[in-house]
């Protein structure tokens, strides 16, 4: 039931008033996928778009020789299919067990055509995604490894918080390999960067997948990027 959806306010669906939400439900299917499972594949025809309701996805592109770039991680409330036209530009896989709302592209387009707020919302989300991609370009192109990792932690912390999850002891659901493929590093360098930040007392790693930010100001200073609260 969309009316009680926990991520409604974060997702595209917030654009629809209560009285119209039934129209969304009418064209919606729910789906759940297991960790590592592939939801859509780069190059395949774009037949469905999705809203993530729980879990985490990764959007990635592959090179023929196996190198991989993870463009973004999706959190609950995020929309999958913003950048794609007739085919999916990136592969989407589950980082953790995830649930989604699935929509046939045809249906969604029809709904968009009849609901300006929905359309505007999608446009706005696309702009936001573009801004974040530009930020990512800076990270990838001009930051040193420790700076990348510090920035990554801060940005993820902020996003988690906005998506209603704890932002400070933050859970890193993805593997070191995923982080490396997102930041353009090797897993060893990622690991060493974590260690450096640990040694400086900026973070604590009680477990490999749990990070506590101890000195946010100093972490921001290391990150280089301008990252506010």
Partner DNA sequence: CGTTATATTGAATGGATTCAAGGCCAGTGG
Partner DNA sequence: CCACTGGCCTTGAATCCATTCAATATAACG
Site string for a second copy, 161-200 (x = CB under 8 A): --------------------xxxx----------------
Q: Is 171 or 186 the residue whose CB approaches a second copy more closely?
A: 186
Please classify residue 147 by burial: count the beta carbons closer than 10 Å to its beta carbon, then call 0-12 exposed, 13-18 middle and 19+ buried: middle
Closer to DNA by CB, 5 or 146: give it.
146
Element (H, E) at 46: none
Pair 74, 80: CB distance under 8 Å: yes
Site for a second copy contains 86 (CB under 8 A): no
Between CA 121 and CA 9 the distance in angstroms is 12
Q: Which of 22, 123, 210, 212 binds a second copy (CB under 8 A)?
A: 123
Please, are residues 101 and 50 in contact by the beta-carbon 8 Å criterion?
A: yes
Residue 133 interface partner, choices DNA, a second copy, none, CB cut-off 5-8 Å depending on type? a second copy
Cβ contacts of 194 within 8 Å, gap of 6 or more: 149, 203, 205
Give the interface with DNA as residue ranges (CB under 7 A): 144-146, 175-177, 184-192, 194-195, 205, 207-209
Among 11, 91, 98, 136, binds a second copy (CB under 8 A): 136
Query: Quick check: 178 and 95 in contact, CB under 8 A?
Result: yes
Give the nearer residue to a second copy in terms of CB position, either 20 or 42. 42
Residue found under tokens 């920035």:
151
Site of interaction with a second copy (CB under 8 A): 61, 63-65, 67-69, 71, 82-85, 89-90, 119, 122-123, 126-131, 133-138, 140-142, 181-184, 224-226
């Amino acid at each position: 039931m969309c009316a009680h959806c926990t991520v409604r306010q974060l997702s595209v669906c917030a654009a629809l008033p209560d009285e119209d939400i039934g129209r969304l439900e009418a064209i919606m299917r729910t789906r759940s996928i297991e960790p590592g499972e592939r939801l859509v594949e780069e190059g395949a025809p774009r037949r469905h778009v999705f809203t993530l309701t729980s879990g985490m996805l990764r959007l990635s592109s592959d090179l023929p020789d196996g190198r991989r770039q993870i463009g973004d991680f999706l959190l609950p409330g995020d929309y999958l299919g913003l950048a794609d036209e007739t085919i999916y530009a990136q592969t989407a896989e589950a980082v953790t067990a995830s649930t989604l709302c699935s929509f046939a592209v045809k249906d969604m387009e029809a709904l968009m055509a009849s609901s300006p707020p929905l359309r505007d919302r999608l446009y706005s989300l696309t702009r936001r995604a573009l801004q974040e991609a530009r930020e990512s370009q800076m990270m990838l192109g001009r930051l040193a490894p420790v700076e990348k990792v510090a920035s990554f932690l801060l940005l993820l912390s902020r996003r988690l918080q906005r998506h209603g999850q704890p932002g400070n002891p933050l859970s890193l659901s993805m593997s070191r390999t995923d982080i490396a493929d997102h930041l353009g590093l090797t897993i060893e360098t990622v690991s060493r960067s974590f260690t450096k930040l640990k040694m400086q007392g900026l973070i604590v790693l009680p477990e490999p997948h749990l990070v506590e930010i101890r000195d946010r100001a100093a972490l921001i200073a290391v990150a280089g990027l301008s990252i506010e609260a």
